[in-house]
Amino acid sequence: MRRFKLQVQVSVDGYMAGPNGEMDWMTFPWTDDIGAYIDALTRPVDHIVLGRRLAEGFIPAWAAGPEGETEETIAWMNGTPKTVISDSLTESPWEGVAVAGGDLTETVNRLKARPGGDIITYGGGTLVRNLIARDLLDELHLFVNPVALGTGMPVFPDTGSHHRLSLVTVRPFDCGITALHYEPKRS
C-alpha cells in the first residue's frame, strides 16, 4: 500500500504559520543538502494532497514557475496529479486537479488503495490537523526552522489525547533547518 507523507515547515514551538497565516519566518534560501534530502523524500511520490485554502495559492504559484526553483522541481510540482480536499468546492477550478469531499478517512483510504507510488501533503493547517487526529499519515517530516513564533497555527490538533510518534531520523542542514522524520506509533 502507498505511504502517505506529510512535509511541513514548522517553528521550534510547533507552528506551521503565524496567527494570521504569516510564513515570513521560514528560513531561505535553502542549501544543497536540504534540497537533496527533499529530492529523496519526494522521489517515490506520485500524488499530492492539498487542503482547499493552501491549493488556492500553491497551485497558481507553481504554475507561474516560482523564482529560485529549478525547472525540474517546477515540472514535478505542476505535473504530479493532485487531489484537493474540500467540502466547499464541487468541482476543480484547476485543470487536471481532482476535488474530494465527504469523509476524510474514506477519501484517504481510497487514495492509498490505488496502485502507485507514495502520496504527500504539504497542508494546509486544517487538513494537517485532521489527518493527524484521524491517524491517516504514515510519515511526518517536520522541517524545524530556527525560530519561535509564540503563537500561530499549530501542526498538531488539540484532541485531548496524545499523538505518540517514533523518531526515525534527525537531520540538520547547513541553512539552519533540522528535519525530524517521525512515524505514528500504532498499537
Side-chain half-sphere exposure of 137, counting CA atoms within 13 A: 30
67-109: pLDDT as tens digits: 989 999 999 999 999 999 999 998 999 998 999 999 999 999 9
C-alpha cell at 76: 514535478
The residue among 164, 184, 178, 138 whose CA lies nearest residue 10 is 178
Question: What are the residue ranges spanned by the domains of the chain?
Answer: 29-147+164-180
The residue among 40, 126, 38, 127 whose CA lies nearest residue 82 is 127
Distance of alpha carbon 151 from alpha carbon 20, whole angstroms: 10
Domain 29-147+164-180 in CATH 3.40.430.10 = yes
Place of cell 486537479: 97
Predicted TM-score (pTM) of the model is 0.95
